[in-house]
Amino acid sequence: MKGLQVEIKRALRDPQLRVAMERFVSINTAARSQAYTEVDLQEIQERVRAMKEKALENLPELFARFKEEARRAGAAVFEAASAEDANRYILELAVRHGVRLAVKSKSMVSEETGLNRRLAEAGIRVVETDLGEWIVQLAGERPSHMVAPAIHKTREEVADLFSQVTGQPLSGAESSELVQVARRELRRIFLEAGMGITGANIAIAESGTLVLVTNEGNGRLVTLLPRLQVALVGYEKLVGTWEEAATILRILARGATGQKISSYVSLITGAVPSLEGYRQLHIVFLDNGRDQMRQDLRYREALYCIRCGACLSVCPPYRSVGGHVYGHIYVGGIGSILTAFYHGMEAAAPSLDLCIGCRACVEVCPAAIDAPRMIVDLRGDRVEQEGLPATRRWILRDVLRNRDRFHRALMAASWAQLPLTRGGPLIRHLPLFFSSQNKWRSLPAIALRPLRRRWTGERVPEGEVQARVAFYSGCLIDFAYPEMGEAVARVLRKEGLAVSFPLGQTCCGIPALYLGDRETACELAQQNIAALEEAGADYVITACPTCSMALRHEFHRLLAGDPVWEARAKAIAARAYDFSEFLVKVLGREGSERARGLEGRRGTYHDPCHLKRGLGVYDEPRELLVDKGLKLVEMMDSDTCCGFGGSYSLSYPGISRDILERKLKNLEATGAEVVATDCPGCVLQLRGGLDKKGKSIQVRHTAEILAEGLG
Partner 1 sequence: MREGFGKTAWTLTELCTLFREEAQRVGAVVQEAGNWEDAFRYIIELAKARGVSLVAISQSSLPHYQELVQRLAQEGIQAVLPGEAPAQGLRRALTEAGMGISGADLGIAESGTLVLVRGDGRDRLVTALPPLHVALFSAHQLVHTLADAMVILKGWGDGYPPAHISLITGPSRTADIETALVIGVHGPKEVHILILKEREGKEED
CB of 220 to partner 1, least distance (A): 5
CA pair distance 612, 69, nearest whole angstrom: 46
- Exactly one of 132, 199, 234, 255 binds ligand SF4 (CB under 6 A); that residue is 255
What single-letter DSSP state applies at residue 446?
Answer: P
CA pair distance 108, 231, nearest whole angstrom: 11
Contact 213, 249 (CB under 8 A): yes
CB of 336 to ligand SF4, least distance (A): 11
Report the DSSP pairing between strands 209-214 and 202-204. Answer: antiparallel
CA pair distance 432, 37, nearest whole angstrom: 42
CB of 160 to partner 1, least distance (A): 13
Identify which of residues 108 and 584 has a Cβ nearer to ligand SF4 in the complex. Answer: 108
Name the 3-class secondary structure at 204: strand
259 binds partner 1 (CB under 8 A): yes
CA pair distance 423, 434, nearest whole angstrom: 21
305 binds ligand SF4 (CB under 6 A): yes
CA pair distance 267, 212, nearest whole angstrom: 7
CA dihedral 540, 546, 549, 555 (to 10 degrees): -80
How far, in Å, are 145, 152, 658, 661 from residue 9 at the CA level? Answer: 19, 16, 11, 16
218 binds partner 1 (CB under 8 A): yes
What single-letter DSSP state applies at residue 553?
Answer: I
Q: Which stretch binds ligand SF4 (CB under 6 A): 87-95, 203-211, 232-240, 365-373?
A: 365-373
Amino acid at 204: I
130 binds partner 1 (CB under 8 A): yes
183 binds partner 1 (CB under 8 A): yes
* Cross-strand partners of 542: 472, 578
- Exactly one of 114, 194, 217, 629 binds partner 1 (CB under 8 A); that residue is 217
Amino acid at 184: R
Residue list 1-60, contact with partner 1 (CB under 8 A): 20, 23-24, 27-28
CB of 246 to ligand SF4, least distance (A): 17
148 binds partner 1 (CB under 8 A): yes
What single-letter DSSP state applies at residue 625?
Answer: H
131 binds partner 1 (CB under 8 A): yes
- Exactly one of 54, 71, 142, 250 binds partner 1 (CB under 8 A); that residue is 250
- Exactly one of 64, 275, 448, 633 binds partner 1 (CB under 8 A); that residue is 275
CA pair distance 497, 211, nearest whole angstrom: 60
138 binds partner 1 (CB under 8 A): no
- Exactly one of 104, 145, 307, 452 binds ligand SF4 (CB under 6 A); that residue is 307
Residue list 279-298, contact with partner 1 (CB under 8 A): 279
Q: Which does 207 bind (CB under 5 to 8 A by kind): partner 1, ligand SF4, none?
A: partner 1
Contacts of 268 (CB under 8 A, 6+ apart): 209, 210, 211, 212, 223, 231, 281
365 binds ligand SF4 (CB under 6 A): yes
CA pair distance 337, 330, nearest whole angstrom: 9
Residues that bind ligand SF4 (CB under 6 A): 255, 305-311, 334, 365-367, 369
| Residues forming the site for partner 1 (CB under 8 A) | 20, 23-24, 27-28, 73, 129-132, 135, 148-151, 153-155, 158, 175-176, 178-180, 182-183, 186-187, 190-191, 207, 209, 215-218, 220-221, 223-225, 241-243, 245-247, 249-250, 257, 259-277, 279
